[in-house]
Amino acid sequence: MDFYGGIKRLQEGLASGEWTASDLVGHSLATIETYDAQVKAFLRLDGEGASSKVARVGNNGCAPETYESHETVHPTRSPLAGIPYALKDNLCVTGMETTCASQILRGYIPPYSATVVERLERSGGVLMGKLNLDEFAMGSSTENSSYFVTRNPWDLSRVPGGSSGGSAAAVAAGMVPYTLGSDTGGSIRQPAAFCGVVGLKPTYGLVSRYGLVAFASSLDQVGPLTHSVEDAATVLQVIAGFDERDSTSVKVDIPDYTAALTGDIRGLRVGIPMEYFDTGMEEGVRRSVEQAIATLRELGAQIKEISLPMTRYALSAYYLIAPAEASSNLARYDGVRYGYRATDPANLLDMYKKTRSEGFGPEVKRRILIGTYALSSGYYDAYYKRAQQVRTLIARDFAAAFAEVDVIVSPTTPTTAFAIGEKTDPLTMYLNDIYTIPVNLAGLPAISVPCGLVDGLPVGLQMIGRSFDESTLLKTAHAYEQAAGFSSLRPTLVKEVR
């Protein structure tokens, strides 16, 4: 038994009695024990809680006769019942420490669970624990965690990407079949590309953000990291849907995402943005993506070159908007209400200063300073307001493109996973998100799927869809995945141990 065969195969084994939900939890714990001392994906493990959940779900993985998903009661067993999973540690779980990999939240125990966690709980999912990330999801390598650096299972000397690096590494190493991460500027798709797994960033508003610790509220979105596109569709089916507790949640009909995975994309119009293939891309990445485009053409898709001219301004706009929202969101961490409080302050103001100085790491402080400056009197119009205007133009670029094509295809990242400690300059690190950031600014759905190996390291192919058209996006990604065959690849670490 392993978790690489997919959620559907695990459910078949549960239904036939080939294994039990206790067996799956035991396998997850054993795999974590084998690999996590090297990978360091987990911030905290809850084996006791997982075993307790199995006792409630039942050893054959049968949840109650109905399960709830996006406010609909389904008269069938949940596709996730009895299946282990893990969460990025910026998603709240009742009674379980949530730190966002920051010292300022050390010891914080939420009194409530995120909506996505409640939906997975109702579906019978078995939570194994919380995963490492860049502090407050600010970073592209998981080197900014205040606890430890997570390593890439394909090469332990390299980063797993970020900020959902722990989420991607745990799936790649086979510790759990799926995880949830959050994506503010590429934080699901970029680590998925680096770790050779599937990462889906849904349309903004499709999945509730209630219980997700906010970084940049107009950009953050929760999504799954999995071994296959089918698994991503299965998880999305459960977590998607309107939530009245989230003011940014959108009421839309939720289709059957797995039913869309027909494998037939003949006549599909695929756009190739020429701006994404300018300088800065590694040659091996370029070759892999061009081969993927050729595969889509062989499957019957119509390939069309398009232009997204405002792409050149996306990075600049993002690094004004995201830090500005972070500056506002992180103002609540002051040592008064929850989390860390500095000892022996001289007065109230000194407590604020010492708490935030000692509790936040360098990258978080950097972004708070940038954001506070951009929002300050006299600079708001010149920076934040102008960045929002550019954001509107980027969204218009995509709208114009989707009048001509159904899906847009690009590299997920310009390079493969880089070495730990290689990108010490923040600006160099920020450039790693150049292909993913425009998607968040426009609020669109996107997915990263493996499209090859370069020097033994995975390459990710990004596909971008229309708002709330995850069905077409997943159909395209699944057809490519089945034709290309890269979903069968396994990290070096796993192959060496086995």
Residue positions annotated with a catalytic role: 88, 163, 187
Q: In terms of DSSP bridges, do strands 269-273 and 407-411 run parallel, antiparallel, or are they unpaired?
A: parallel
Beta-bridge partners for 69? 72
Q: Which residues, at least 6 apart from 389, have a Cβ–Cβ distance to it below 8 Å?
A: none
Gyration radius (Cα) of the chain, Å: 21
Q: Which residues, at least 6 apart from 103, have a Cβ–Cβ distance to it below 8 Å?
A: 146, 340, 358, 359, 360, 361
Beta-bridge partners for 460? 450
Q: What tokens were used for 138?
A: 């600010």
**Angstrom distance (rounded) from CA 103 to CA 357:** 11
Question: DSSP string of 173-236?
Answer: TTSSSEEEEE-SSSTTHHHHHHHTSEEEEPPTTTB--TTBPPSSTTT--EEEEESSHHHHHHHH
**Angstrom distance (rounded) from CA 53 to CA 55:** 5
Cα torsion 408, 442, 234, 461: sign? positive
Q: Within 13 Å, how many C-alpha atoms sit on residue 162's CB side? A: 29
Q: What tokens were used for 18?
A: 């080939």
* Contact predicate 215/184, CB 8 Å: yes
**Angstrom distance (rounded) from CA 411 to CA 444:** 16
* Contact predicate 223/201, CB 8 Å: yes
**Angstrom distance (rounded) from CA 95 to CA 117:** 13
Q: What tokens were used for 364?
A: 């978080």
Is 448 strand, coil or helix?
strand
Q: What tokens were used for 202?
A: 């849904």
Question: Nearest 5°: CA angle at 472, between 467 and 473?
Answer: 75
**Angstrom distance (rounded) from CA 200 to CA 122:** 22
Is 82 strand, coil or helix?
coil
